[in-house]
Amino acid sequence: MYLLVSQLLSPTQALQDLDISSLYQAFCDVRAESESICKPLEIEDYGIQTMPDVSPPKWHLAHTSWFFETFILKPFVTKYSVFHPKYEHLFNSYYEQVGTFHPRPERGLLARPTVAGIYEYRQYVNTQMGELLVSLTNKASSETDQLEILRRTEIGLNHEQQHQELMLTDIKHIFANNPLKPVYLDLKTSPPTAAMPLTWLEQSAGIYQIGHNGYDDSRDDYAFDNEGPEHKVYLEPFRLAARLTTNEEFFNFIEAGGYDNPAWWLSDGWKKVQTEHWQQPLYWHKQDSGWSEMTLAGLRPLDMNAPVSHVSFYEANAYASWLDKRLPTEQEWEVASRQFEIVGNFREQGYLQPISGSQNNSHQFFGDVWEWTQSSYSPYPGYKSAAGALGEYNGKFMSSQFVLRGGSCVTPQNHIRASYRNFFYPGDRWQYSGIRLAEII
């Protein structure tokens, strides 16, 4: 692993401490992985958008290239020539300080540029980025600029990994909305394994440190700005379920009339149930032969022992209320999870689906599904967004959303850490999101 730019104490530290060749290799690997995710697609699949939250696969491929072009190549390459002058508008996601952007719900209306044209765009950006990174070894620009280029490259790589996960969740939604229920990839399956009995992990009351502590933390590597600053929190004694909630356990909630009884639901959640006609998690299908589930490998029998997935915060909270439990706070989750190794069912395992038998010595804190917490997505004490357009990356979304922790079966393992804060709106279900129970002791 290359030395993180973020770990440098000051711009004056010697650039030879940085393994630029390893960073360049990481750039090549991440960029290639995005294209590998798209290899199973047919050309007709690239432009589909099934709801405003879903982006067409070809848009993801272009936007991640736009990120490197906009935030690195244009500012730091003298007389840089953009690939196409209108791409700045088409593939800007939400950066107001950069300029205008195409409406998100209309990304699927763009027949052009073609898929081939977008791959040409990626290759152009890859070539330009490669030349820029190689040139850093010649010290052609100031050391301050060189360090900023490397810092932004790190951000760009982590940004692209986020979009790789989004591509997989978006492809699943696109295929699930097709009556043919097509197969994205013939994925391997795990042998049926009974869920472990539900036990609890107890934590005593006390003052704890959470958050990332400025990029020199031996526990973690890179971190986004919303993961810090590190700070103290006081927690009452609590306990967390030692594993995730299973499909069978959530099915019991359904059978008990969970979707028909407003007693368990928050007001906004009950409204969502009524207007969207929810009666089960997203992608569950009741058939004559029993329950099945849409996966990236098409329809499969529902594994009752696997972690329940594709539930909203509202559903997770209602399930917990039905059992007279609650969801953990993100502070509780982080304190508990830091005691365990970051292992689990990640993208590298090749299932791309929560699986039974994925219990391990990390108690499923990592992988399988993102875990809803009851914590609203808000800034930590002392948090301040970075200056400039890149400061819009996280800070401006700290409103009306809830924090999820732990990563999922489509998250790359080297992308996750205990301090990682994902966030979605409480009604969102298309992500691999699940449930861990909690309660005060």
Q: Is residue 118 part of a domain?
A: yes
In whole numbers, what is the pLDDT of the chain averaged over residues? Answer: 92
Burial of 324 (0-12, 13-18, 19+ CB in 10 A): exposed
Q: Is residue 123 part of a domain?
A: yes
Q: Is residue 104 part of a domain?
A: yes
Cα Rg for the chain, rounded, in angstroms?
Answer: 22
What pLDDT, in 10s, does the model give residues 300-337? Answer: 999 999 999 999 999 999 999 999 999 999 999 999 99
What pLDDT, in 10s, does the model give residues 31-90? Answer: 999 999 999 999 999 999 999 999 999 999 999 999 999 999 999 999 999 999 999 999
**Could you tell me the residue range of the domain that residue 315 belongs to?**
200-440
217 shares its domain with 344: yes
Q: Is residue 129 part of a domain?
A: yes
152 shares its domain with 212: no
172 shares its domain with 206: no
pLDDT at 11: 39
211 shares its domain with 171: no
Contact between 441 and 328 (Cβ < 8 Å) = no
Q: CA–CA separation, 307 vs 286, rounded Å? A: 18
Of the pLDDT bands very low, low, confident and very high (cuts 50, 70, 90), residue 386 is confident
Q: Is residue 314 part of a domain?
A: yes
Q: Is residue 399 part of a domain?
A: yes
Q: CA–CA separation, 431 vs 316, rounded Å? A: 13
What pLDDT, in 10s, does the model give residues 252-303? Answer: 999 999 999 999 999 999 999 999 999 999 999 998 889 999 999 999 999 9
Query: Which of 160, 176, 192 is the last residue before a domain boundary?
Result: 176
Please enumerate, as own/partner, the contacts of 251-255 that have beta carbons within 8 Å and a separation of 24 or more: 251/291, 251/304, 253/318, 253/319, 253/322, 254/279, 254/280
pLDDT at 144: 84
Count of structural domains within the chain: 2
Q: CA–CA separation, 271 vs 283, rounded Å? A: 20
232 shares its domain with 93: no
Of the pLDDT bands very low, low, confident and very high (cuts 50, 70, 90), residue 6 is very low
366 shares its domain with 249: yes
What pLDDT, in 10s, does the model give residues 129-171? Answer: 999 998 887 766 688 888 899 999 999 999 999 999 999 999 9
CATH of the domain at 243: 3.90.1580.10
Q: Is residue 95 part of a domain?
A: yes
165 shares its domain with 217: no
